Chains A and B, each alone.
Chain A
Amino acid sequence: MKAIKNIGLVVFITGLIIFTGSIFTGSFNLNEAELDNFISSKNYKNELIKEELKKAIVTSEPLSIFEFSSKVRNAYAISNKYYDDLIAKYDAEKNWDKKGAQYQYKIYGKPHTLSFELAKIAGKGSIKENPNLFWWLTFGLGIVGALLFILPNYILLGNAGIKNNGIYLESSTNRGLIAWLVLIYLVGFYLLLYFMPDYVVNWTFIFDPISKALNGGLASQWFVYGFLYCVIMLVMAIRMYIKYRHNKYQIIRTTSVLFFQIVFAFLIPEIMTSLNMPGYDFKNAFPLDYDFFFEWNLDSLRSSGAVGLFILAWGILLTLVIVPVMVYFFGKRWYCSWVCGCGGLAETLGDPYRQHSNKTLKAWKLERWLIHSVLVFSLIMTVVTLYCYFTGTNSFLGINSQWIKDTYSFLIGAWFAGVIGTGFYPIFGNRVWCRFGCPLAAYMGIVQRFKSRFRITTNGGQCISCGNCSTYCEQGIDVRAYAQKGENIVRASCVGCGICSAVCPRGVLKLENGPEKGRINPTEVLLGNDVDLMKLINNN
């Protein structure tokens, strides 16, 4: 069994190396016809960019993606600088007409994204020619290797039951060297994905056939990410099924997040795109779905007929009615650990790292400041955006609409939710984003804390303060602090993963939905004592 595991590890790492190494393969260049096609499809009105791009990348020389990217970005920079200089010049001459005329020649968009679009056309090499072979060499090997590594646990873990043996004795799960290497890899992955997609254009070639089959178009980096996300969750869900095979709550919950990721987040939007509808994730609620009210999305929905209007109505209904009503009846767990994609990754890929959440009072204070600030930030951004959308202005309350959207997308959307949220799993735990950043979690947390039927019930006086519950709480709640006082746990941040209840050796904790009355039960003295003493002290 151990040998199978080791073989699995080698196979997995081989797949990972090929996947990572594939970035450096292939060659990139264009012929003139391809460039002309591109320029006309983009509707560029200036000749300079055509000249510059021609000089840069219309060549028979096989450029690497890095050379290619740098040449493309340089071409755009030269072109834009030329017109910026003209603008400055006419500005100095107070020649407003001419100045105004230059803006149409400027090319907007992120340089790496423009480079990605060109690289998608320019790419050549074995990956583009043999995408299916490379799918097997990367994803295929990765999946097979991971399964070989995971499946023997069925035997190796011993009889069904809580088997957290060795978690704090192993480098990978105890913030050792392996954990740091994983962190670096994940952070690097997200930086490339968000900020330098052209560098990983080769990955998208692997997925062109699959993407064409699903939505009719070529694969973008987001298609690769979406597919990878589903594959990782599926494989790590199998790990969960083995680890918690005695615990039906965990089995059902894992199946639920897996279903919503694969069907709602991945398949339905792809199929909608193939039908010329806006691809929409029906479970992704604002304000987690922070760009739902952005102009481009509203425009796209409004121009998509009945489907678009339905999505618009559904999105508003989801946030304003469905989310709070469901939180009232079931707690925010219905979303965070049953439906959400971020939660889904945290509960599968992130499960081995759940113990790293910080349990100190300081961390709790930081959490409350940070998460509510993000909620306020997202709301201000949305108010500004909507005001500007309906009035046609550029700013509201002195806040520039484009600026606040860009800032939020960059700081919260990319860095907090992606790079930090997932990249930091191995060191800071699997719910960094959900605990400190997610504005939807903040919103649901307020409902859960003040108006909900959900609580974790503490079972009388059975707690022995062992600390398993607190240690394995991914949200950093000091569960024991409540349990040892016989107090129910009613906390805004609880996502109802149910692991505290699972790891409790004395059967003290139960996630329940019940009447609001008596949900919060502060006690001074626990059950077991003489009734008179309890009454006396609790009444004081």
Chain B
Amino acid sequence: MEHIVIIGNGISGVTAARHIRKNSDVEITIVSAETDYFFSRTALMYVYMGHMKFEHTQPYEPWFWKKNNINLKKGLVTKIHTDATKIEFHNGEQLTYDKLIIATGSKPNKFGWPGQDLNGVMGMYHKQDLENLEKFAPNNTVCKRAVIVGGGLIGIELAEMLHSRNIPVTFLVREESFWNAVLPAQESAMINKEITDNHIDLRLGTNLKEIKADAIGNVKSVVIAETGEEIECNVVGLTAGVSPNIDFLKESGIEIGRGVKVNRYLETNIKNIYAIGDCAEQHEAIDQRRPIEAVWYTGRMMGETVAQTICGNKTAYKPGHWFNSAKFIDIEYQTYGWVWAQPKENEARFYWEHSSGKKCIHISYDKNTHRFIGINTFGIRMRHEFFNNALNKKLSVDEVLEHLADANFDPEFYKLHESEIIAKFNQENSTNIQLKKKSWKRIFSLQ
């Protein structure tokens, strides 16, 4: 029987395995060095915060794998022998495959800072990072202060985590405003405020120079590059982005760039070897996406796609319209379509912010045709299907606003802001858009 080996038990690898199983009865083995079972990486923060136990982050009960005849193998893969179609483990053991899927995900970036490997310096990515954090920052007596370096999604999550245990946090962000390479200025400013509202010491435009150790090799302090200020701390979180976790492939003959190079079919340069998820790098970026996308759902979609190809229905990876979501402490964020940090030449923008300063929407549309391009929504939930449809049908911004009541996805009884939003748009653009009442018929016709 054909043997499919998948390296990595994250969302990409596990989705691939599930869909291969649905469509075939080949032998499937998932290899992981990190954990016995698939867990949701994005939920690690909730374990530290005490919202959940680690077992709650596992979407499938342990019996699931045996019942679906998916072998789980724990071990660190160190080499791939492509000629012999074998993978080799840390302990020298080997495993033969017919088809191999590389789904090894990412690892946190380190930029050669002095002291970056001291005790108490950690990323927040692997399960082991969580265990490390529990060891070095169980409470605010052991950890009197933590310093986080790098202002992205993981950085703010780590800040929220430590804050939940009342550990004082200093948050060093290289940019002049939080995540402003992705978020437009208004949204970025809103999140700056959310961070400081939670008593987190946010230092914008600030770089790390070095991490200093005490006598026994533990973190003692960090030094700021710009001012030379020394901040005493017991934990340093390095959250300056992630990059593909592919060091073990260097001598395998598999073509790599920053990630594993793949074509639209997620095939590498070597026959029967595929790469999916965070570790895959498209030869050419798809639409306006990046060549490497470290996003939960793109990993899932690549898994679904590669499973089709492996089961004989060769299918290209064609992600649909861009979307994403996150939560910045108490402010939820969703985005559909593209809203770049800086408007492109053809783009016009519409921004509305609620008086509370905790909700806003930001719409991007074409200056000339008024075609809807994308929306950022903060503190208001919106329907994915609505905007997917708007983008498919190339609706104008006027049509989108007119039907904004259909888009709202907030819980029942929440205050609705659509008329306020439209009034502002009408006023700024001298238009006369009228809000239509929510229509189930329209909502269902989207499916």
Contacts and interface: CB of A to CB of B under 8 A. Distances in A.
- Dominant secondary structure of chain A at its interface with chain B: loop
Contact of B384 (A459, A524, A532): A459
Contacts of B304: 525, 529, 533, 537
B40 A164 contact: no
B442 to A, nearest CB: 12
Interface in A458-517: 459-462, 464-468, 470-471, 480-481, 484, 498, 501-503, 505-507, 510-512, 514-515, 517
A53 B57 CA distance: 64
Given A165-B49, A481-B59, A529 B318 contact: yes
Interface stretch (A60-68, A199-207, A244-252): A244-252
Interface string A141-177: 0000000000000000011111011111110000000
Contact of B51 (A471, A481, A507): A471
Contact of B388 (A252, A527, A536): A527
B332 interface: yes
A536 B330 CA distance: 39
B329 interface: yes
Interface stretch (B102-110, B211-219, B265-273, B405-413): B405-413
A465 B319 contact: no
A531 B388 CA distance: 10
Contacts of A536: 313
A170 B164 CA distance: 14
A474 to B, nearest CB: 15
A21 interface: no
Contacts of A169: 50
B79 interface: no
A528 B43 contact: no
Most interface-central of B22, B56, B323, B383 (chain A CB within 10 A) = B56
Interface string B323-341: 1011101101010000000
A462 B198 CA distance: 26
B51 A165 contact: yes
Given A466-B43, A510-B381, A168 B53 contact: yes
Contacts of A265: none
B42 A464 contact: yes
A475 B439 CA distance: 31
Interface residues on A, range: 35 or more
A286 to B, nearest CB: 29
A459 B334 CA distance: 11
Interface in B19-67: 22, 40, 42-43, 46-47, 49-53, 56-59, 61
Contacts of A161: 329-330
Interface of B: 11, 22, 40, 42-43, 46-47, 49-53, 56-59, 61, 164-165, 197-198, 296-297, 300-301, 304-305, 308, 313, 315-316, 318-321, 323, 325-327, 329-330, 332, 334, 381-385, 388, 392, 409-415, 440, 443-444, 447
18 contacts: A159-B197, A165-B165, A166-B164, A169-B50, A249-B414, A252-B413, A459-B384, A462-B323, A468-B43, A471-B51, A506-B327, A510-B381, A515-B444, A527-B388, A529-B305, A530-B319, A533-B318, A537-B304
